[in-house]
């Protein structure tokens, strides 16, 4: 039934930051895992959004949406009990492996990282989580994740909260002093490229969630294929281990827009 579109009432909306809202929906769970995404339909257009909250106890799923353009602006205008179309879940999720894990989310990349942290901490994984943003008011999920008992650290580019600097600098510092079994990452591709280099340098197994323009999310249209392996990010991804990521030659260099034109990062 996962490809079957549903029209659901928004159960509640949480304002996470001036630009990010989390929308919660009633949900009948099958095998949803952190790192998977849903296609959201506003009855005009359809776009992918990572699952940011998986709560089978309350039969509830959450997606966190950053307002960037026309589609996400239309979502931010919605209220509780308004209707939205959803289908999914799609794609590969993060594998929960190891007993000590470092999780890193840059900006809205914290959405799948928050779902991963909830699940991994429930399974007894000891975790350090870095939530990175440009400035204090854009830091996501710090309080929510504190309640799971993990160690949450914030970084801001402007130094207004937590560590002053890029997440990559804090990651390198932590890897040198701590003993992690694995790292999971989602954020701007430029940040993930740097973290791929760091994970290789310190031989730390790492999973990355990457984004490409999506249309069908079913593996049919080929819109999200990447050079030069041809993997469909909606089916073979969006989560890849570092050694797989190194086979994607366009990673960290360019992506394609809706018409297939290359855009440099």
Ligand X SMILES: Cc1cc2nc3c(=O)[nH]c(=O)nc-3n(C[C@H](O)[C@H](O)[C@H](O)COP(=O)(O)OP(=O)(O)OC[C@H]3O[C@@H](n4cnc5c(N)ncnc54)[C@H](O)[C@@H]3O)c2cc1C
Binding mask 150-189 for ligand FES (x = CB under 6 A): ----------------------------------------
The correct pick among 7, 14, 68, 97 for binding ligand X (CB under 6 A) is 68
Q: Which does 140 bind (CB under 5 to 8 A by kind): ligand FES, ligand X, none?
A: none
Nearer residue to ligand X within complex by CB, 180 or 187: 187
Whole-number Å distance between alpha carbons of 246 and 34: 22
Q: Which does 124 bind (CB under 5 to 8 A by kind): ligand X, ligand FES, none?
A: none
Q: Which does 198 bind (CB under 5 to 8 A by kind): ligand FES, ligand X, none?
A: none
Beta strands in 27-124 (DSSP E): 37-41, 46-55, 60-66, 83-90, 100-106
Residue 111 engages ligand X in binding (rule: CB under 6 A) = yes
Q: How far is CA 143 from the centre of its chain?
A: 18
Tell me how far, at minimum, the Cβ of 225 lies from ligand FES, in Å.
Answer: 7
> Distances from the Cα of 83 to the Cαs of 40, 75, 86, 127, in angstroms?
11, 10, 10, 36
Nearer residue to ligand FES within complex by CB, 21 or 232: 232
Beta pairing partners, 127: 101
Whole-number Å distance between alpha carbons of 153 and 161: 10
Residue 72 engages ligand X in binding (rule: CB under 6 A) = yes
Q: Which does 217 bind (CB under 5 to 8 A by kind): ligand FES, ligand X, none?
A: ligand FES
The verdict on whether omega for the bond into residue 238 sits within 30 degrees of 0, i.e. cis, is yes
The correct pick among 27, 33, 35, 49 for binding ligand X (CB under 6 A) is 49
Whole-number Å distance between alpha carbons of 145 and 140: 9
The stretches of the chain forming alpha helices (DSSP H) are 70-76, 110-122, 142-146, 167-177, 189-201, 242-245
Q: How many residues bind ligand X (CB under 6 A)?
A: 21
The correct pick among 42, 50, 155, 168 for binding ligand X (CB under 6 A) is 50
The correct pick among 24, 71, 231, 240 for binding ligand X (CB under 6 A) is 71
CB under 8 Å to 46, separation ≥6 — which residues? 39, 40, 85
Nearer residue to ligand X within complex by CB, 177 or 259: 259
Q: Which does 111 bind (CB under 5 to 8 A by kind): ligand X, ligand FES, none?
A: ligand X
The correct pick among 21, 66, 232, 255 for binding ligand FES (CB under 6 A) is 232
Binding mask 197-226 for ligand FES (x = CB under 6 A): -----------------xxxx-xxxxxx--
Element housing 6 (H / E): strand 6-9
Whole-number Å distance between alpha carbons of 104 and 153: 10
| DSSP β-ladder status, 46-55 and 37-41 | antiparallel
Under the rule (CB under 6 A), what is the footprint of ligand X? 37, 47-50, 63-66, 68-72, 108, 111, 211-214, 238
Under the rule (CB under 6 A), what is the footprint of ligand FES? 214-217, 219-224, 232, 234
């Amino acid at each position: 039934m996962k490809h079957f579109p549903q029209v659901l009432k928004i159960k509640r909306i949480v304002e996470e930051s001036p630009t990010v809202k989390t929308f919660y929906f009633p949900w009948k769970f099958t095998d949803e895992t952190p790192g998977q995404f849903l296609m959201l339909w506003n009855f005009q257009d359809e776009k992918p959004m990572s699952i940011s909250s998986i709560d089978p106890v309350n039969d509830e799923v959450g997606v966190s949406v950053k307002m960037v353009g026309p589609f996400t602006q239309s979502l931010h205008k919605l209220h509780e009990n308004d209707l939205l179309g959803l289908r999914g879940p799609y794609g590969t999720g993060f594998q929960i492996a190891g007993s000590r894990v470092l999780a890193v989310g840059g900006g809205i990349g914290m959405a799948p990282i928050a779902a991963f942290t909830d699940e991994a901490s429930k399974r007894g994984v000891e975790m350090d989580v870095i939530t990175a943003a440009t400035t204090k008011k854009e830091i996501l999920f710090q309080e929510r994740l504190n309640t799971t008992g993990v160690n949450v650290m914030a970084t801001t580019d402007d130094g207004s909260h937590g560590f002053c600097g890029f997440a990559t600098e804090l990651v390198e510092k932590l890897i040198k002093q701590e003993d992690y079994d694995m790292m999971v990452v989602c954020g701007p591709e430029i940040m993930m490229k740097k973290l791929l280099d760091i994970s290789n340098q310190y031989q730390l197994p790492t999973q990355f969630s990457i984004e490409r323009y999506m249309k069908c999310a079913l593996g049919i249209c080929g819109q999200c294929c990447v050079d030069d392996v041809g993997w469909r990010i909606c089916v073979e991804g969006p989560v890849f281990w570092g050694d797989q990521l190194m086979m994607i030659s366009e990673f960290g260099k360019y992506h394609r827009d809706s018409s297939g034109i290359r855009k440099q990062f």
